[in-house]
Structure 1
Amino acid sequence: MSEMIRPGLHRRLSREVSGDVLFDRFSRGRYATDASIYQIMPAGVVVARTAEDVVAALDAAREEGVALTMRGGGTSQCGQTVNSGLIVDTSKHLNKLLELDVEGRHALVEPGIVLDDLNRLLKPHGLWFPVDVSTASRATIGGMAGNNSCGSRSLRYGTMRDNVVAIEAVLADGTRGRFAELEQGAKGEPPRDLVAAMLALGRREAGEIAARFPGVQRRVGGYNLDALVQTDHPGGDPVNLAHLLVGSEGTLGISTAIEIKLSPLPKATKRLGVCHFPTFRAAMEAAQHIVALKPTSVELVDETMIALAREIPMFVPTLEAFVKGRPAALLLTEFADDPDENAASIARLEAVMSDLGYGFGRGGAHEGGVVTVGDVTLQGAIAELRASGLNIMMSMKEAGKPVSFVEDCAVPLEHLADYTDRLTAIFEKHGTRGTWYAHASEGCLHVRPVLNVKLEKDVATMRAIAEEAFAMVREYKGSHSGEHGDGIVRSEFHEAMFGSRIVGAFREVKTAFDPSGLLNPGKIVDAPKMDDRSLMRYPPGYAVSDFPTAFDWTSWSGSAGGFQGAVEMCNNNGACRKSAGAVMCPSYRVTRNERDVTRGRANTLRLAISGQLGPGALHSDEMAETLKLCVSCKACRRECPTGVDMAKMKAEVLYQRGKAKGFSAKDRLIANLPRTAWIAARFGGALGLRDRFGPLARLLETIFGFSARRSLPKFRRDWFRSREGDVAGGRSGEAGGHPGVVLFADTFGRWFDPQTLRAAVAVLKAAGYPVETARPLSGRQPLCCGRTYIASGMADRARAEAERTIAALMPHVRAGKAIIGLEPSCLLTLRDEFPALVPGEDARALAESALLFEEFVAREARARRMVLPLEPLGRKAYLHGHCHQKAFGAMPAVEAALRLIPDLDLTVIESSCCGMAGAFGYDAETIDVSLAMGELSLLPAVRQAPEGALVVADGTSCRHQIFDGTGRTAIHVAEVLAGALSHKT
């Protein structure tokens, strides 16, 4: 990566800026990429706290002769937010809703506010901002304005340009102005000479603009010169200079506040018609007829996306609920009017499909039809699947990946079928294929040819495809930029699209606003070649040296090879940056630092293993800091559509660091807990002195790093003995003929929470299942999952534990017995890490037989093999799910087990990680983040639970965090079921 060092700039910014000023190589590397194929190392990064910080950064950059690029969520797919100068990040602090006019349906927002966060604030007022891009969980309004984003419902609501009223901006020379509809003498108006120059340009080029600008709605390429053309006829659009800044990609001015139009929330009675087609062309031909019905949106999902989504656990239940058979393409058609009109629209949709020859049950070549979805929850799940289209496509585990460069060309609907056929032929001609999805309603399909841009020949193929595709788009009078803007990818092609005169006008606009080329140079005008490999994430000479790994990464061999391939699965699209819903990424939700999000960690790892952060980067203290706040929740394993498993990557890096630098006393103390717990349990009273005597707690904090502000878990004198878990033979008729259950008594349950294991035994006994406690083949040391060794980086010790446990449990597995456990992080280690530590058939067989207690209960009850004598509890119950339960899709089983209790009033708390995460919550360096994670949603929800309500949490750490944070005692599902057992049994 090319880079320039500016120590003077760093010192100045550190003095003048209240936000974070980041000039170290690791931080700059994290801002060197966005969601495109490009990578440029910046000179430095400013995480602006105030608008004054932005102005100070601009002044310093101008006076130091350094370019400045604004950045929001960093999700640009064309390289808009990468540059070699100063990067200014607005997403952490400049994210406020400044003013809200509910009656007038207007809002004034800071540029760093994320679309989903904004809409959560607007929802209580019955309003939303309707430019609903698929990256809504991380896309900022400033970035959307810079790109002129569109969203899936632009058919009804238009683009950003249609929804931006005004922009308060700072120009390159420091001049401030409010860019809006022209109004003589308006407060804060832009410089009059600039306004006059732009109006003169509009008058002069009106004819050329009318002749050369594509007529499709999805035209976001170049500058919006048509916004400068004054119309004389009544009802014509007045000149609004904000619309010139919209889509300018930060090259003309810097927004400090944006005034936007709002819309009423769509009615909850919307209906979705999922049109199934036997061929891709059939769907493309049908699009224009479906659009004529005036739906809110028509979105494409092709068979490639369906097939890839079937490999991602979080999407499987959704697909099973609405996809019928094996369609080649789906058109998701939404109607969002009143209920009667929606029903009529669905009927008309079915009639159109019937007229086209499609209807389920018809048979033959025209098999297809409409699946109607009225359920709001399923509609939301389908919308989430469609919004994840990019990441689903990028989940391919092979050397080639779908590459964005002809990503969002837009053509008139009547040409869509021919265009897609011809573009497919171009792909085939160059030896590749494309993946298709998105906005069929606008003739703007996201299509990505599969290429390996590490190879010179594939980069050459990329250019050849681009040139042929863009020529075809011009032939159809379409736009080569239909949604994602220009950036580095498309800017060089503007002359062919618009002609030299219009490109000259683009350059004239840039010069008028930014004569020294300070703001985000190389975008829209004077652009580099799109295939300049020196600007790419994988430049010439990119290589990663092989090194022996602790875990088996061969399942990633198709993408690049082992650990490298796993790391490179991150495409930077930023799904991990969402601030609410599900779990990923809990530490980022607290800090809002790029370093502390899955994407930032993956980028750092990629740069480190490829030598771009200097020698020894993988083992460095900077890398340790990068991973320190990763709580190994495993949410990314499930929620990242490309499957970036940061928990396992962190374990690998800790192992590599431990080999290079050794382990601390704290590491060894945590890792060896399963081995030393029996000693600690016998001296639990003496250990309790630490919690009762403050000076001792502070001394031990100094020595071992365990925070004096947190009491340690209590070792129980009545620990769980293995013989307690042995229950011979069951009662006939209930579990009759069942081969039995083996209880895997984890370290935490055995020594800290034995009541949970005893409760599980009581439930299984009441259901009539033969139970025995898992025991080692030799020696007295209880079996262990090795979780503490993994968390401490001692993967070799964890492997030894895995081998010992596998050997002891395999006879039971072969006998058909279920291996069940209560602590999610321990039992699920058998399913996740064991096969990666000890590859082979035995580990895989054990993984398939290992079940959480509640998974076993739910499975047996569903099969009607388990009949429990349960009585109503007469209490409300509030359930918090352990991160690993969520990561492995076990939460439905937890709910199903609890709902076996008659009339149980159950509420599931929507929460991310509890924040305790094993030793993380006890560490003096991380306790503040731990507590802040708990306060995001879990602890407030528990405090609001009625007195006397049950609080249910299966994780030992979760229960401790709840008690420490609220004073409420949470219990395991097994305890709830045991408490509901009839006293007559």
Structure 2
Amino acid sequence: MPNDIRVPSFAPLKAALSGALFDDVFARGRYATDASIYQMMPHAVVVPESLADVEATLDFARREGLAVLPRGGGTSQCGQTVNNAIVMDTSRHLNRILELDVEQRRCLVEPGIVLDELNRQLKPHGLWFPVDVSTSSRATIGGMAGNNSCGGRSIRYGMMRDNVTAIDAIMSDGSKARFGDTGTVTPTGMLADLQPQLLEMGTRHSQDILDGFPTVLRRVGGYNVDALMPDAMALRPGGKTGDGINLAHLLVGSEGTLAYSTAIELKLWPLPAKKLMGICHFPTFYKAMDAAQHLVTLDPVAVELVDDTMIALGRSIPIFRKTIEEAVQGNPAALLVVEFAEDDMAENHRRLKQLHAMMADLGFGWDKGGEWCGGVVDAIDPAMQGRVAEMRKSGLNIMMSMKSEAKPVSFLEDCAVELKDLAEYTDGLTRIFDKHGAKGTWYAHASVGCLHVRPVLDMKQQDGADTMRAISEEAFALVRSYGGSHSGEHGDGIVRSEFNDTMFGPVLPGLFRQVKAMFDPAGMFNPGK
């Protein structure tokens, strides 16, 4: 393991770089944390200005036996972007659009470009990249690809994996390769030797892969070895027979552990010009979760959950108080924000009308009392839609505004189950929380059965950490009993990698280890993730 040896002087590397290198305690401390609960002190921080700086850093790390960690905005929830390694911050300089093909709706970008900045540059062309994560103001495309991010509209647009068409990368031996469609891209360098082995693995273990992975859309745990199966692209949403194999999808979700991505080719989409929202109110959380499977039949682009904890906290925050007043009627236990964004505005209105009718058919009404009081508040005005979307996007910040030592903790952040099981799964999870004296906060992507649920724990106390461990083990067992995914959006990192053996059965974890050993035999790239 590269981290088991002494750290050498960084003076030779600093002299070789055009960009900056920091090895003082203050700078290293800034990069010792991310958006998770973990802290790991890096050996040094490199801010490369060019690809030559990246190559020089990788050469130095390889020669000195040190680990390397590519990093963007540090928004990872599971500790993917902290390590005892040389951290390379790509967000400062490696953040350009290298190519843009408006007609073919594709672009090639450097890994450090921030999602909001990318979409700002695409907007004049009527295009956008729709993997709309809530951290879009700081999340980089490289980090999103490494994490296989999803966002709130994956029911319509898919995940990063479905929107990355190629990746240019530097391998652990220093050679360069393009990962893409195996039918059109000729492998080079180290990849030329690995590709036949990878494809043979996919063929030989096709049934093991199908048996081991959950069938839900939101599954980002482990390596995407299903991308190695014959005609793997046919199994993706919207895929068809003959679509072939795209090796870029093996790097997507690999959390910087296999290679260093220097450029990422993206599939772009027309920018939605028109949309409507219906804010569905529910008297109980269970009923909201049970209704989700019915609401998605109207083909919305998103169905986002807001629970009563978020509503109560939002009411106490001045910038969200007006939004709550206009969007929330009474004191619901949960909201489902249903968004329609078809090109034909008349179609959006038709579906909004169907949403009202469906809520009534499910038994809800404003004039009904008790457990059936509910209905739909329309968000027709674009300004109101923007305020509602911003409040939902700020869900994590709102939840973390709790004025207590105990805070919502990310470790069950994004488990996913099939929609038909969502109500029973969340009910079972609530019982686990109750058993351990914890309250859960809930929000996010009801459309795909992937909820951001955070037990409220005091992690400054040992019993908080002990409760986290106990809840983790019971909750992941519950997820597996429903055939769900223990990692539906935020990856493995430190918090969930240890559970891969339990969640994926006897064969897949062995394949994951084989892939890592093939790509990175010395363990240089982000070890331990």
TM over 0.5: yes
Q: Distance in 1 between matches of 2:11 and 2:85?
A: 15
The reply to whether residue 22 of structure 1 matches residue 22 of structure 2 is yes
The reply to whether residue 297 of structure 1 matches residue 307 of structure 2 is no
The reply to whether residue 465 of structure 1 matches residue 471 of structure 2 is yes
Kindly indicate which of the two structures has a greater share of residues assigned to helix: 1
Given residue 86 of structure 2, which amino acid in structure 1 is its aligned partner? L
Tell me which residue corresponds to 2:213: 213
Q: Distance in 2 between matches of 1:427 and 1:236?
A: 46
Give the counterpart of 2:358 among 327, 333, 352.
Answer: 352
Matches within 5 A, 1:704-719: none
Q: Distance in 1 between matches of 2:67 and 2:504?
A: 27
Give, in angstroms, the shift of residue 502 of structure 1. 1.0
User: 1:23/1:414 Cα in 2 relative to 1: closer, same or farther (>3 Å)?
Assistant: same
Aligned CA RMSD, in angstroms, stands at 1.5
Give, in angstroms, the shift of residue 308 of structure 1. 0.9
Matches within 5 A, 1:201-280: 201-231=201-231, 235-267=241-273, 269-280=274-285
Tell me which residue corresponds to 1:65: 65
Kindly indicate which of the two structures has a greater share of residues assigned to strand: 2
- In 1, are the aligned partners of 2:363 and 2:372 still within 8 Å (CA)? yes
Give, in angstroms, the shift of residue 172 of structure 1. 1.2
Q: Distance in 2 between matches of 1:41 and 1:404?
A: 21
Tell me which residue corresponds to 2:10: 10
Q: Distance in 1 between matches of 2:44 and 2:189?
A: 32
Give the counterpart of 2:311 among 290, 306, 311.
Answer: 306
Q: Distance in 2 between matches of 1:24 and 1:296?
A: 47
Matches within 5 A, 1:602-613: none
Give, in angstroms, the shift of residue 365 of structure 1. 3.3
Q: Partner of 1:500: helix, strand, or coil?
A: coil
Range 441-450 or range 454-463, more displaced? 454-463
- In 2, are the aligned partners of 1:432 and 1:451 still within 8 Å (CA)? yes
- In 1, are the aligned partners of 2:436 and 2:467 still within 8 Å (CA)? yes
Q: Distance in 2 between matches of 1:309 and 1:20?
A: 41
User: 1:185/1:105 Cα in 2 relative to 1: closer, same or farther (>3 Å)?
Assistant: closer
- In 1, are the aligned partners of 2:94 and 2:110 still within 8 Å (CA)? yes
Given residue 283 of structure 2, which amino acid in structure 1 is its aligned partner? P
Q: Partner of 1:191: helix, strand, or coil?
A: helix
Range 224-233 or range 240-249, more displaced? 224-233
Q: Distance in 2 between matches of 1:289 and 1:188?
A: 48
Give, in angstroms, the shift of residue 375 of structure 1. 1.0
Give, in angstroms, the shift of residue 110 of structure 1. 0.4
Given residue 251 of structure 2, which amino acid in structure 1 is its aligned partner? L
The reply to whether residue 440 of structure 1 matches residue 440 of structure 2 is no
Give the counterpart of 1:325 among 306, 323, 330.
Answer: 330
Tell me which residue corresponds to 1:480: 486
Q: Distance in 1 between matches of 2:160 and 2:12?
A: 36
Q: Partner of 1:240: helix, strand, or coil?
A: coil
Tell me which residue corresponds to 2:176: 176
Give, in angstroms, the shift of residue 6 of structure 1. 6.8
Tell me which residue corresponds to 1:598: none
Given residue 438 of structure 1, which amino acid in structure 2 is its aligned partner? A
Q: Distance in 2 between matches of 1:408 and 1:135?
A: 15
Given residue 280 of structure 1, which amino acid in structure 2 is its aligned partner? F
1:476-524 Cα shifts (integer Å, max 9, x gaps): 000000000000011000011112321111000001100001100000x
- In 2, are the aligned partners of 1:222 and 1:506 still within 8 Å (CA)? yes
Tell me which residue corresponds to 1:415: 421
Give, in angstroms, the shift of residue 69 of structure 1. 0.6
Tell me which residue corresponds to 1:572: none
- In 1, are the aligned partners of 2:149 and 2:490 still within 8 Å (CA)? yes
Q: Distance in 1 between matches of 2:48 and 2:31?
A: 14
Given residue 285 of structure 1, which amino acid in structure 2 is its aligned partner? D
User: 1:303/1:184 Cα in 2 relative to 1: closer, same or farther (>3 Å)?
Assistant: closer
Tell me which residue corresponds to 1:499: 505
Q: Partner of 1:292: helix, strand, or coil?
A: helix
- If the length of structure 1 is used for normalisation, what is the TM-score? 0.52
Tell me which residue corresponds to 2:404: 398
Higher radius of gyration, 1 or 2: 1
Given residue 252 of structure 1, which amino acid in structure 2 is its aligned partner? L
Tell me which residue corresponds to 2:49: 49
- In 2, are the aligned partners of 1:178 and 1:190 still within 8 Å (CA)? no
Tell me which residue corresponds to 1:807: none
- In 2, are the aligned partners of 1:179 and 1:189 still within 8 Å (CA)? no
- In 1, are the aligned partners of 2:284 and 2:371 still within 8 Å (CA)? no
Stretches of structure 2 lacking an aligned partner (at least 5 in a row) = 235-239
1:81-110 Cα shifts (integer Å, max 9, x gaps): 000111000001111011100000000000
Given residue 389 of structure 1, which amino acid in structure 2 is its aligned partner? G
Tell me which residue corresponds to 1:341: 347
Tell me which residue corresponds to 2:199: 199
Given residue 300 of structure 2, which amino acid in structure 1 is its aligned partner? P
Give, in angstroms, the shift of residue 362 of structure 1. 3.3
Stretches of structure 1 lacking an aligned partner (at least 5 in a row) = 524-985
1:884-942 Cα shifts (integer Å, max 9, x gaps): xxxxxxxxxxxxxxxxxxxxxxxxxxxxxxxxxxxxxxxxxxxxxxxxxxxxxxxxxxx
Matches within 5 A, 1:625-644: none
Q: Partner of 2:404: helix, strand, or coil?
A: coil
User: 1:5/1:222 Cα in 2 relative to 1: closer, same or farther (>3 Å)?
Assistant: closer
Q: Distance in 1 between matches of 2:324 and 2:175?
A: 53
Given residue 210 of structure 2, which amino acid in structure 1 is its aligned partner? A
Give, in angstroms, the shift of residue 364 of structure 1. 4.2
Q: Partner of 1:42: helix, strand, or coil?
A: coil
Given residue 57 of structure 1, which amino acid in structure 2 is its aligned partner? T
Give, in angstroms, the shift of residue 418 of structure 1. 0.5
Give, in angstroms, the shift of residue 378 of structure 1. 1.3
Given residue 259 of structure 1, which amino acid in structure 2 is its aligned partner? E
Q: Distance in 2 between matches of 1:510 and 1:480?
A: 21
Give, in angstroms, the shift of residue 361 of structure 1. 2.9
Q: Distance in 2 between matches of 1:205 and 1:454?
A: 44
Q: Distance in 2 between matches of 1:133 and 1:350?
A: 28
Q: Distance in 1 between matches of 2:38 and 2:7?
A: 25
Q: Distance in 1 between matches of 2:387 and 2:5?
A: 47
Give, in angstroms, the shift of residue 183 of structure 1. 3.2
Q: Distance in 2 between matches of 1:122 and 1:502?
A: 39
Give, in angstroms, the shift of residue 187 of structure 1. 7.5
Give, in angstroms, the shift of residue 381 of structure 1. 1.2
- In 1, are the aligned partners of 2:167 and 2:265 still within 8 Å (CA)? yes
Q: Distance in 2 between matches of 1:428 and 1:146?
A: 35
User: 1:460/1:108 Cα in 2 relative to 1: closer, same or farther (>3 Å)?
Assistant: same
Give, in angstroms, the shift of residue 7 of structure 1. 6.8
Give, in angstroms, the shift of residue 344 of structure 1. 0.6
Give, in angstroms, the shift of residue 313 of structure 1. 1.4
User: 1:339/1:171 Cα in 2 relative to 1: closer, same or farther (>3 Å)?
Assistant: same
Q: Partner of 1:14: helix, strand, or coil?
A: helix
Give, in angstroms, the shift of residue 8 of structure 1. 3.8
Give, in angstroms, the shift of residue 5 of structure 1. 10
Tell me which residue corresponds to 2:237: none
Give, in angstroms, the shift of residue 236 of structure 1. 4.3
Matches within 5 A, 1:475-874: 475-523=481-529
Tell me which residue corresponds to 1:79: 79
- In 1, are the aligned partners of 2:129 and 2:269 still within 8 Å (CA)? yes
- In 2, are the aligned partners of 1:273 and 1:346 still within 8 Å (CA)? yes
Q: Partner of 2:75: helix, strand, or coil?
A: coil
Tell me which residue corresponds to 1:136: 136
Tell me which residue corresponds to 2:159: 159
- In 2, are the aligned partners of 1:5 and 1:43 still within 8 Å (CA)? no
Q: Distance in 2 between matches of 1:241 and 1:176?
A: 14
RCO higher in 1 or 2 (8 Å CA, sep ≥ 6)?
2
Q: Partner of 2:453: helix, strand, or coil?
A: strand
Q: Distance in 2 between matches of 1:146 and 1:275?
A: 34
1:103-135 Cα shifts (integer Å, max 9, x gaps): 000000000000000000000000000100111
Given residue 356 of structure 2, which amino acid in structure 1 is its aligned partner? E
Task: Report the count of equivalent residues.
Answer: 520
Tell me which residue corresponds to 1:619: none
